[in-house]
Copies of this chain bind each other. A is one copy, B any other.
Amino acid sequence: MKPQATDKASPAAGVLTIDRLCIHQVTLMQCNFQQSIECLARHGVTKTAVWKDKLDDVGVSAALRILNDCDVEVVSIIAGGFFTGATAAERAKAYDRNREMLDQAHRLGAKSMVTITGGLAAHDSDLQTARSRVPEGLAALLPLAEQSGVQLALEPLHPMVCGSRSVLSTLREANDVLDALGSPAELGIAIDSYALWWEPDLQSEIERAGPRIENLHVSDWLLQTSDTRLDRGMPGDGQINNREIRSWVEATGFNGPAEVEIFSAEKWWKKPPDEVVAKIVETSAQHL
């Protein structure tokens, strides 16, 4: 509960220029692969993170043609990992999927694969066992990451999806996992403001993560959140101080893009994609 010393009136982070704005494909779930990339290009957005399902619909070769035609660069592929399967067969399947994704990421020129841990099986309450599978799952992927030249970006998710998506809920735990593994060069961290904005020691844990930060995902927390996964807000519409969080991340030396990732089944996924992208470009100067 120590107040953290920050001057919110004049945050250290400067205005985000459009060349540092990345918009995730999942923010435009209403589009297919090609539509989403073309839409970004129309608004001068030059960076995206690829959503594996959309990629698989077209295949890597066609995806590369579309990206090249539109001059859009791939920052990451989303989402790999899923180490907590209850059976060896499930975990082997996840390993194979990760191998495939790392190869796809390599071919697309992506810098990282966003890596989430997975949750618990329904009615399972053995959190400790599920958590113990995370370091071993990551360790098994390290040689594949090294071989592909693609970083693993471990992403803690909000505690409200602990049971369903990620038994890793805080940046502190992510830092602990990396420390325990000896901080291998192939393993970094993805920071998502939506997942972590509430974390008590967020600023100091960001400092601790330091050069291990690979990605910065941003969206907003809506006061009236109607779904534990698919009701994220547009930056500026909620309670997260994204500008401040970005200033903390950049204080570590990070100079990558701010990546807008909005899961929004009932609002933004129902709007015309050009309206969504125009809104993000407009709002990013003020709120990112």
A residues apposed to B, CB below 8 Å: 1, 3-4, 6, 8, 120, 122-129, 131-132, 134-135, 158-160, 162-164, 167-170, 172-173, 176-177, 180, 197-200, 221, 223, 225-228, 238-241, 244
| Chain B residue contacts of A244, Cβ below 8 A | 125
Beta-carbon contact of A239 and B170 below 8 Å: no
Q: Which of A160, A172, A197 has the most CB of B within 10 A?
A: A160
| Chain B residue contacts of A240, Cβ below 8 A | 125
The one of B176, B228, B241 in contact with A125, judged by C-beta atoms closer than 8 angstroms, is B241
Chain B residue nearest to A132 (CB atoms) is B3
The one of B6, B8, B159, B163 in contact with A238, judged by C-beta atoms closer than 8 angstroms, is B163
| Chain B residue contacts of A163, Cβ below 8 A | 198, 221, 223, 238-239
CB distance from A169 to the nearest CB of B (A): 5
Beta-carbon contact of B238 and A1 below 8 Å: no
Beta-carbon contact of B4 and A128 below 8 Å: yes
Task: Tell me, in angstroms, the Cα distance from A173 to B129 when the chains sit together.
Answer: 25
Task: Tell me, in angstroms, the Cα distance from A227 to B160 when the chains sit together.
Answer: 11
Copy count, this protein chain: 2
Beta-carbon contact of A200 and B170 below 8 Å: yes
CB distance from A187 to the nearest CB of B (A): 14
Q: Which of A6, A134, A169 has the most CB of B within 10 A?
A: A169
| Chain B residue contacts of A180, Cβ below 8 A | 1
> Can you add 5 more A-B contacts, CB < 8 Å, to A1-B173, A123-B239?
A122-B239, A125-B238, A125-B244, A159-B159, A162-B198
CB distance from A152 to the nearest CB of B (A): 16
CB distance from A93 to the nearest CB of B (A): 20
| Chain B residue contacts of A3, Cβ below 8 A | 128-129, 131-132
| Sampled A-B contacts (19; CB under 8 Å) | A1-B176, A1-B177, A3-B128, A3-B129, A3-B131, A123-B223, A123-B238, A124-B239, A125-B239, A125-B244, A158-B160, A159-B159, A159-B169, A159-B198, A162-B221, A163-B223, A163-B238, A169-B200, A225-B228
CB distance from A249 to the nearest CB of B (A): 16
Beta-carbon contact of B198 and A122 below 8 Å: no
Task: Tell me, in angstroms, the Cα distance from A173 to B169 when the chains sit together.
Answer: 16
Beta-carbon contact of A1 and B170 below 8 Å: no
Beta-carbon contact of A8 and B239 below 8 Å: no
Q: Which of A1, A135, A163, A225 has the most CB of B within 10 A?
A: A1
Task: Tell me, in angstroms, the Cα distance from A225 to B165 when the chains sit together.
Answer: 13
Beta-carbon contact of B1 and A127 below 8 Å: no
CB distance from A235 to the nearest CB of B (A): 11
The one of B128, B164, B239 in contact with A223, judged by C-beta atoms closer than 8 angstroms, is B164
Task: Tell me, in angstroms, the Cα distance from A240 to B221 when the chains sit together.
Answer: 25
Chain B residue nearest to A170 (CB atoms) is B200
